[in-house]
Amino acid sequence: REDVKSHHYIISFDPRDGTDNGLTVDRAQELGEQFCKEHFPGHQALVCTHPDGHNHSGNIHVHIVINSLRIYEVPLLPYMDRPADTREGCKHRCTNAAMEYFKSEVMEMCHREGLYQIDLLNGSKERITEREYWAAKKGQLALDKENAVREAAGQPTKPTKFETDKAKLRRTIRQALSQAGSFDEFSSLLLREGVTVKESRGRLSYLTPDRTKPITARKLGDDFDKAAVLVLLTQNAHRAAEQSKAILEYPAAVKKLSQGEKTTKTTPADNTLQRMVDREAKRAEGKGVGYDRWAAKHNLKQMAATVTAYQQ
């Protein structure tokens, strides 16, 4: 295998940090040099800052390139787990533990500097790349412009929110997840929308009609990977089972209550029917769980009383 001679790290700031938080290229360079000094001691390094991305996204970013060989011995840092990680003449190792540590340090730096940040450690429910972000921005501008022309001409406008292909796919998957109680049902619902879900080595991917290569769940976000999908499907199945159980038990409960009304009736007042309580309306008014439980029992009793009155 080819010998690794250097390691390249990039700290990319949010495009809004320049306008909203006053981040400059010079300040980003200072932060990059400080980060390099603290976390890559003993290595020759090149730190340079670019004011923009290749796609003119406007995000300031810092490149840190270090010589893989350590030229002098250094103290043991939190991400190091071998004696050789500190020794002169030994190489830098980019391990999973090291990357987790670097991510947490970048998050801490952004917090300290009052900059925008995302949770680099726990993933993202919807993983939107910089490329998709700017595609959505440009698409929205084009849609707004087209709708303005249509409105001026007295023509009907198109939907006011632009969606990227990935955004449409996420919406389709979420709709299927909200209805399905099993993976087979989930796959069937997606197939009706023209989306094929595939599993390979425990990972899911989604193929849309206009593509020949599927989009992996990792590119869509953590909400669409196998683990998250199975958890939601299990919850849906349990909820459906509870609802079915309640429906099956309802006639028996009504019969029991109606019999109780017959045996305990002592005065005409006991047979007086009352109005049902609109539970949804009461919840909207701010009524609590206790009231809702009472209302459920009250409504059940009124239904039983209605049956009793009808039988009599």
Please tell me the predicted confidence (pLDDT) of residue 161: 80
Please tell me the predicted confidence (pLDDT) of residue 266: 47
Residue 206: its H or E element: strand 203-207
Burial 17-56 (b: 16+ CB within 10 A, else e): bbeeeebeeebbeebbeebbeebbebbebebebeeebeee
| Average confidence (pLDDT) over 153-169 | 86
Please tell me the predicted confidence (pLDDT) of residue 93: 93
Please tell me the predicted confidence (pLDDT) of residue 241: 82
| pLDDT for residue 269 is more than 50 | no
| 75-95 pLDDT, tens digit each | 999 999 899 999 999 999 999
Which of the two residues, 87 and 301, has the higher pLDDT score?
Answer: 87
Please tell me the predicted confidence (pLDDT) of residue 268: 44
Over pLDDT 70: what percentage of the chain? 81
Please tell me the predicted confidence (pLDDT) of residue 57: 63
Please tell me the predicted confidence (pLDDT) of residue 70: 96
| 190-201 pLDDT, tens digit each | 999 999 999 988
Please tell me the predicted confidence (pLDDT) of residue 5: 92
Q: How far apart are CA 169 and CA 147, in angstroms?
A: 24
Q: How far apart are CA 134 and CA 159, in angstroms?
A: 19
- Structural domain spans, the chain: 6-113, 130-232, 265-311
Q: Name, in order, each residue with C-beta under 8 angstroms of 149's C-beta and a sequence gap of 6 or more.
A: none
Please tell me the predicted confidence (pLDDT) of residue 256: 64
Most confident of 76-90, 233-247, 295-309: 76-90
Q: Which of 80-84, 204-208, 300-304 has the lowest mean pLDDT?
A: 300-304
| Residue linked to tokens 């949770």 | 119
Task: Record the pTM.
Answer: 0.46
Average pLDDT, the chain: 83
